[in-house]
């Protein structure tokens, strides 16, 4: 066979197909399937196929390892065997299109949702819901960790007047059907958390000195902080809670100093710059 | 065009030798910031920092004030038949403006085609068609970045039937046609030589030594029938010998130890690098690591999982 069976582009397509899809997507300009032996040299110790196999094996192993580091809590929760199975299927369905590995797992939570085994059944298992939420949370953490933002590095005094408080530049709020944040924290502290039962949960993630802070919060606090993120003042966010959740004004005013103290300590708030007279 | 090439070529030849350097790894961030170890310079993986608005970029900003830095990339994909990625190049240029690296390097390889990225350093066909294609792209990249780029010989695990030029000749033509520089990875020469039946000593002799601005040394895994470039252990005797040879032939250039898997504590990593000092002259060195074979399916070439951010939770 003539050795220049491929143009450069065809050859790259062929090799990438062998790596990513385990087989060539197209066969270049050849009418019969192209044999590895026609493209790759054999050597003293290895056949052409074995040479190519080194790349094929490394391709999936290396990206699987990246998925494992990006979703370490999920890998623990699923067990390594099941995690690998999902990761391999994912990489097969959504091969990387980015120059950076940091976004490798971007579509993984959606992929888990799309491919859940009970997708077509009416009665759904609950554990996939937990896994999907955990995957989403882990990916979000990796994004927040490296997002461009003004770092929350100023100290906000506890006695800052309410009207000068605003949400910190890095403050992300999450609402889940499982205790995701608690599970993640336990895992990251080296404990071995068990698969949790469904339980609605809320959490806030901040970044201080480039390190993430994870806090489980209450539902009312979640909606309060959301309201402030939409541009409301403390007073208006309080009114929102009263209106939407039938909170008693008197109860809210009683609990507010406690909220304020813990929110400031957790870094949820910064003080507005006051300028002018 | 010729003028530009001469300019880049002169710039390459005037680059300094900053000494013995280490790769910057997130595992060592705190140690380096707190202890200011006496390392001559650091090599940073460009992709790890170019999009970072968090801790990696913050750490790099501080280190770039204390140490000379070189930017080493893995995603330029100079050999690909896809168009050059302008977004990537723009970010690379912006990072370089901030970090002010001594030079920018990447590999003679392609990483993907049809907009995919395999995140591997795949071997290029070595013939006239691909040489022309690659030189053309190097010219574009260098003109865009407004500086010469340095290219590394990758570790390879196969050769193509369509190749007609030896890799050392291909690299030499690249430097002549574009004025680019070379990063000689002596471990990669050893690995590729074993896997593809060529003599690494002959290979190193054939290179244009005045274009080599940097060397890489690293550990690998010998699997009996082939060698995988794992960057996860000490450097073996044969690779140190190649380093000595290359040191003599180049007159000594910036040298960096790569360690990307099973990354040890900082001082272990640094001590392995400092062994290079014993190999700069031809005096016999004792106590070297000899090759042991290890069979197993786990060996992965160019591990990349260290490139994924380690999220730090308070
Ligand atoms: Fe290298």
H or E element, residue B246: helix B237-250
- Is pLDDT above 80 for A5? no
Residues of B in contact with A54 (CB under 8 A): 157-158, 195, 226, 228, 301
Other CB atoms within 10 Å distance of the CB of residue A254:
10
In the beta sheet, which residues pair with residue A165? A271
- How buried is residue A256: exposed, middle or buried, by Cβ count under 10 Å (0-12/13-18/19+)? middle
**Which tens digit of pLDDT belongs to each residue from A61-85?**
999 999 999 999 999 999 999 999 9
Question: How far apart are alpha carbons A201 and A181 in whole angstroms?
Answer: 8
Q: Determine the distance in angstroms separating the CA of A193 from the nearest CA of chain B, rounded to an integer.
A: 17
Read off the pLDDT of each residue in B173-185 and give the average, rounded to a whole number.
98
Question: How far apart are alpha carbons B117 and A251 in whole angstroms?
Answer: 56
Is the CB of residue A243 less than 8 Å away from at least one CB of chain B?
Answer: no
**Which tens digit of pLDDT belongs to each residue from B15-63?**
999 999 999 999 999 999 999 999 999 999 999 999 999 999 999 999 9
- Cα radius of gyration rounded to whole Å, chain B: 18
CB contact under 8 A, B308 and A6: no
**Which tens digit of pLDDT belongs to each residue from B188-208?**
999 999 999 999 999 999 999
- Is pLDDT above 60 for B253? yes
Read off the pLDDT of each residue in B308-312 and give the average, rounded to a whole number.
75
Question: How far apart are alpha carbons A272 and A269 in whole angstroms?
Answer: 9
Work out the pLDDT band at B148, boundaries 50, 70, 90. very high
Is the CB of residue B159 less than 8 Å away from at least one CB of chain A?
Answer: yes
pLDDT of residue A276: 42
pLDDT of residue A29: 45
In the beta sheet, which residues pair with residue A167? A269
Q: Does domain A150-271 have CATH number 3.90.930?
A: yes
Residues of B in contact with A43 (CB under 8 A): 159, 195-197
Is the CB of residue B125 less than 8 Å away from at least one CB of chain A?
Answer: yes
Read off the pLDDT of each residue in B250-267 and give the average, rounded to a whole number.
93
- Is pLDDT above 90 for B135? yes
How close is the Cα of A101 to the center of ligand 1, in Å? 19
CB contact under 8 A, A58 and B308: no
Read off the pLDDT of each residue in A109-130 and give the average, rounded to a whole number.
83
CB contact under 8 A, B120 and A59: yes
Read off the pLDDT of each residue in B220-227 and give the average, rounded to a whole number.
90
Measuring CA to CA, how many Å separate B227 from each of B107, B152, B203?
A: 19, 18, 17
Candidates B114, B131, B154, B303, partner chain A, best to mutate (most A CBs within 10 A) = B114
ipTM for the predicted complex: 0.91
CB contact under 8 A, A54 and B228: yes
pLDDT of residue A35: 86
Strand, helix or coil at A87? helix
Question: How far apart are alpha carbons A123 and A218 in whole angstroms?
Answer: 30
- Is pLDDT above 70 for B238? yes
What value does the mean pLDDT of chain B take?
A: 92
Which spans in chain A are helix H?
8-20, 36-39, 48-70, 72-78, 80-93, 108-114, 127-146, 180-188, 219-229, 234-245, 249-266
Q: Which of residues 15-34 of A touch B (CB under 8 A)?
A: 15-16, 19-20
Q: Determine the distance in angstroms separating the CA of B111 from the nearest CA of chain A, rounded to an integer.
A: 9
Work out the pLDDT band at A122, boundaries 50, 70, 90. confident
* Residue-range domain boundaries for chain A: 8-105, 150-271
CA dihedral for B191, B195, B201, B206, sign (positive or negative): negative
Work out the pLDDT band at A152, boundaries 50, 70, 90. low
Work out the pLDDT band at B232, boundaries 50, 70, 90. confident
pLDDT above 90 covers a percentage of chain B that reads 79
In the block, tokens 């961030």 appear at B29
For B288, list phi and psi in degrees, rounded to 5: -105, 155
pLDDT of residue B89: 98
Q: What is the pTM of this model?
A: 0.91
Is the CB of residue A2 less than 8 Å away from at least one CB of chain B?
Answer: no
Q: Which of residues 181-200 of B touch A (CB under 8 A)?
A: 195-197
pLDDT of residue A3: 53
pLDDT of residue A277: 44
pLDDT above 70 covers a percentage of chain A that reads 91
Candidates B109, B297, B309, B310, partner chain A, best to mutate (most A CBs within 10 A) = B309
- DSSP for B99-130, written as a single string: H--S-EEEESSB--STT----S-BPPP-SHHH
CATH superfamily entry for domain B2-307: Divalent-metal-dependent TIM barrel enzymes (3.20.20.150)
Question: How far apart are alpha carbons A61 and B79 in whole angstroms?
Answer: 23
- Is pLDDT above 60 for A23? no
**Range A40-77 burial, b when 16+ CB lie within 10 A, else e:** bbbbeebebebbbbbbebbbbbbbbbbbbbbbbbbbbb
Max Cα separation, chain B?
56
Q: Which of residues 63-82 of B touch A (CB under 8 A)?
A: 75, 80-81
Read off the pLDDT of each residue in A169-187 and give the average, rounded to a whole number.
96
Contact assessment for residue B157 and residue B188, using Cβ atoms and an 8 Å cutoff: no
CB contact under 8 A, A185 and B313: yes
- Is pLDDT above 50 for A28? no
- Is pLDDT above 70 for B287? no
Question: How far apart are alpha carbons A83 and A67 in whole angstroms?
Answer: 9
Q: Determine the distance in angstroms separating the CA of B14 from the nearest CA of chain A, rounded to an integer.
A: 31
Q: Which residue has the higher pLDDT, A31 or B88?
A: B88
Work out the pLDDT band at B143, boundaries 50, 70, 90. very high
Residues of A in contact with B308 (CB under 8 A): 66, 69-70, 101-102, 104, 142
CB contact under 8 A, B54 and A41: no
For B46, list phi and psi in degrees, rounded to 5: -55, -45
Is the CB of residue A211 less than 8 Å away from at least one CB of chain B?
Answer: yes
Is the CB of residue B287 less than 8 Å away from at least one CB of chain A?
Answer: no
Work out the pLDDT band at A27, boundaries 50, 70, 90. very low
């Amino acid at each position: 066979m003539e050795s220049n069976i491929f143009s450069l582009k065809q050859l790259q397509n062929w090799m990438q197909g062998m790596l990513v899809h385990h087989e060539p997507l197209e066969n270049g300009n050849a009418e019969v399937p192209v044999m590895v032996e026609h493209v790759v040299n054999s050597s003293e110790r290895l056949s052409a196929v074995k040479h190519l196999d080194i790349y094929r094996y490394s391709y999936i192993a290396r990206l699987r390892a990246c998925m494992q580091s990006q979703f370490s809590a999920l890998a623990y929760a699923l067990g390594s065997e099941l995690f690998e199975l999902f990761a391999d299927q994912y990489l097969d369905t959504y091969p990387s299109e980015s120059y950076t590995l940091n976004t490798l797992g971007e579509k993984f939570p959606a992929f888990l949702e799309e491919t859940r085994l009970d997708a077509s059944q009416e009665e759904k298992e609950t554990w996939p819901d937990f896994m999907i939420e955990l995957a989403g949370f882990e990916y979000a953490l990796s994004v927040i960790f490296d997002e461009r933002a003004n770092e929350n590095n100023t100290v906000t005094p506890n006695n800052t007047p309410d009207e000068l408080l605003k949400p910190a530049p890095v403050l992300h709020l999450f609402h889940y059907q499982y205790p995701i944040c608690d599970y993640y924290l336990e895992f990251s502290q080296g404990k071995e958390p068990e698969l949790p039962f469904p339980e609605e949960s809320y959490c806030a993630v901040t970044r201080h000195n480039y390190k993430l802070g994870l806090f489980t919060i209450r539902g009312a606090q979640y909606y309060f902080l959301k309201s402030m993120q939409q541009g409301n003042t403390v007073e208006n966010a309080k009114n929102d809670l009263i209106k939407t959740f039938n909170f008693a004004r008197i109860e809210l005013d009683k609990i507010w100093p406690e909220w304020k103290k813990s929110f400031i300590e957790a870094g949820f708030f910064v003080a507005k710059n006051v300028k002018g007279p | 065009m010729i003028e530009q090439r001469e300019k880049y070529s002169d710039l390459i030849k005037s680059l300094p030798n900053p000494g013995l350097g280490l790769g910057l790894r997130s595992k060592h961030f705190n140690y380096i910031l707190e202890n200011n170890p006496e390392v001559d310079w650091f090599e940073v993986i460009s992709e790890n920092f170019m999009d970072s608005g968090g801790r990696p970029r913050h750490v790099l900003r501080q280190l770039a004030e204390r140490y000379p830095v070189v930017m080493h990339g893995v995603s330029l994909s100079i050999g690909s038949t896809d168009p050059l990625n302008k977004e990537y190049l723009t970010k690379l240029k912006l990072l370089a403006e901030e970090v002010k690296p001594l030079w920018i390097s990447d590999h003679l390889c392609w990483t993907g085609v049809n907009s995919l990225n395999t995140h591997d350093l795949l071997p290029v066909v070595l013939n006239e068609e691909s040489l022309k294609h690659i030189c053309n792209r190097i010219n574009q990249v260098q003109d865009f970045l407004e500086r010469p780029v340095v290219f590394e010989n990758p570790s390879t695990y196969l050769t193509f039937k369509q190749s007609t030029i030896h890799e050392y000749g291909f690299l030499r033509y690249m430097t002549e046609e574009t004025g680019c520089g070379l990063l000689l990875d002596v471990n990669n020469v050893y690995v590729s030589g074993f896997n593809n039946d060529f003599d690494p000593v002959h290979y190193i002799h054939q290179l244009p030594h005045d274009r080599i601005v940097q060397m890489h040394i690293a550990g690998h895994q010998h699997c009996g029938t082939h060698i995988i470039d794992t960057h996860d252990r000490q450097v073996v005797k044969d690779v140190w010998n190649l380093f000595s040879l290359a040191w003599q032939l180049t007159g000594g250039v910036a040298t960096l130890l790569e360690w990307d898997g099973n990354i040890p504590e900082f001082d272990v990593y640094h001590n392995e690098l400092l062994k290079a000092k014993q190999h700069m002259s031809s005096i016999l060195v004792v106590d070297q690591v000899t090759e042991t074979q290890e069979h197993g399916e786990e060996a992965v070439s160019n591990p990349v999982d260290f490139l994924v951010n380690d999220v730090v939770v308070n």
